[in-house]
Chain A
């Protein structure tokens, strides 16, 4: 005689077995005492469970006694949520506008960069370098904002409708991965050789068939590296042969060996005796291009003082104070700074365009194929935007924050509610926010440094800053909106209050002089609210498991 198991008895009691199986089971239970007892016990158990769980053990809490909304929405016939529709339209429009703006702004720069010999094949490097070298850091922030709004808009779009049932996290992951791919980040680095030590490096005669990452106080590369060299050091000397790029973070760096790729340097001082076969990018206090040196591509520099003696095959883009140009430039020269001095031995094949406070000094004997074009520009750069651009930027900033709020409500309603609650405790939120921000600034600086190299990690860290910036506005904004609309104590997310609150914040932050302090207060307050909310959520989540 085969017994049936507990699971099957439960299915039987719940009417889930097919007729034949049920008949078998029922016949068996009639004959088998043990099974009958089990069946009865299960029956009682279900009954008890049903009764106990239905027990009216708790009255309705006072705040739920009355419907929080006196009048129901006048039932929109297409049953889509009343505000989802315009949230849709808004996000779509904003995303489209941002894409257009990004495209029209970046495209001309990308072309110029291409001519300059700087590969702008990936959108990210184009966005970044165009921002950094052509319009300054402010533009880079704009570019980031466009990118943030585009990605936020896409996220909202992706999450609102088509894949409603899909797990939220999965969709975020897909969208983020998609966005990163869109940016065309450099493909992941192969496993590299890593060397550490006070005098790490590559000795004469030694060959490394891989990328090399090296940490040390004094690094010498005398041998051959068949790959890239990434060095973090106080002193770097590249005397040997590097077939890939040289990326260097150093106090002093000197390259007198052979570099077949690009050189990207972040140094206090950089001395190039031999140059590089491709392009050179340099951020430095002091930069010297030796007269013997040859740069196979273009040169881009952000340097305080510089002497450029060698040969630059393609374009020269230079941000500097008073650099001296004595060498040869095969392409155009674009200079921005105080005063460019063109020495007697200089030869420039392309056009020379200088932007700054003083017109370039051209020594007798310098061979220029074109006359120097000079554009006078004052140091202050504020207020150069037209009214239209200004309004557009404001709308963009507002839209970004609003999209972020919608996203929060949609994805993490619990977190949103917790953040709103946390924002009500102004003192606590402010103090925690201040604390976090001070320690966070170091992180952001690091992220900016990494970003310059184009490392994915840097991008990711920097992207974290965006959500915090927006999130802060969202929490403070919804708090302000609530105060004004008197949306009493319900925790239900109120999109209207959010929209109003954000609008007020945006207006306040545009008051001359005071606006800066308003922004700072929002950032501190909101960051604190985010931290408190995150903290309380994780505590809550951990609790039931205990």
Chain B
């Protein structure tokens, strides 16, 4: 059971004081400290990107770019706040920017919000469907979601963002977050009920 992400494990393992010291060293230009920070956090950030971005390649590129941004922004980090949430914030903003640049608003939000029923006939269905999925199956399904739905699920359930943080990262009104989440869950349910098939169109090479 993976209750904790690798990032959280790393933090637990390292201890807060040590992390703060490592960040301070990396900021001062210590190559080793920076390398350690990278090695500890890159896997979690990569998995985040893997869920947020549609293809494997995009996720790789985004990971590299996020760490490049982090390196520049390390000076802005406020040590009073948890490092992981700051890290995910930078990652979320970057991924969302990338997705937005690539798509028009219509692509980000396929279909009409109002037209989709916000209640499902069988609420337990998604849980069962998820249980049936193999490892990577859910990720493949996520890849088929429109960017906003994919992003909102990743932020809520992978990065553990609260509603305010999601609203901030996706530039949504706060009361639109719940609707976006519910819709995303419906869309995911819809995709998972489709007969399982390989998805060559997504460029997925997992």
Contacts and interface: CB of A to CB of B under 8 A. Distances in A.
A49 B71 contact: no
Q: Which of A53, A491, A546 has the most CB of B within 10 A?
A: A53
Contacts, number: 186
Given A11-B178, A75-B27, A5 B5 contact: no
A44 B139 CA distance: 19
Contacts of A413: 65, 98, 101
Given A492-B65, A543-B201, A42 B123 contact: yes
Interface in A32-68: 37-38, 41-42, 44-61, 63-68
Contact of B138 (A11, A52, A74): A52
A69 B76 CA distance: 19
- The size bracket of the interface on B is 35 or more
Contact of B61 (A54, A59, A417): A417
B71 A53 contact: no
A16 to B, nearest CB: 6
B185 interface: yes
Main secondary structure of the interface of B (DSSP, over half): helix
A540 B55 contact: yes
A193 interface: no
A368 interface: no
B3 to A, nearest CB: 8
A17 to B, nearest CB: 10
A34 to B, nearest CB: 10
B154 to A, nearest CB: 7
Nearest to B164: A16
Contact of B98 (A50, A64, A69, A414): A414
A1 to B, nearest CB: 17
B169 to A, nearest CB: 12
Interface stretch (A76-84, A103-111, A290-298): A76-84
A70 interface: yes
A121 B123 CA distance: 69
Interface string A20-41: 0000000000000000011001
A8 B42 CA distance: 36
Interface in B54-86: 54-56, 60-61, 63-65, 67-68, 71-76
B63 A64 contact: yes
Given A72-B29, A165-B171, A491-B61, 16 more contacts: A7-B182, A10-B178, A16-B178, A37-B124, A48-B126, A52-B133, A66-B38, A66-B39, A67-B39, A69-B68, A69-B71, A72-B74, A74-B28, A75-B29, A413-B101, A544-B143
Interface of B: 1-6, 26-29, 31, 34-35, 38-39, 42-43, 46-47, 50-51, 54-56, 60-61, 63-65, 67-68, 71-76, 98, 100-103, 107, 110, 118-120, 123-124, 126-127, 130-131, 133, 135-136, 138-139, 142-144, 146-147, 153-154, 157-158, 163, 171, 178-179, 181-182, 185, 188, 201-203, 206
25 contacts: A5-B118, A6-B120, A6-B182, A7-B179, A16-B178, A38-B123, A41-B123, A45-B126, A51-B2, A52-B130, A53-B153, A58-B50, A63-B60, A65-B39, A72-B27, A72-B74, A75-B28, A76-B75, A167-B100, A412-B101, A414-B102, A491-B61, A543-B202, A543-B203, A544-B54
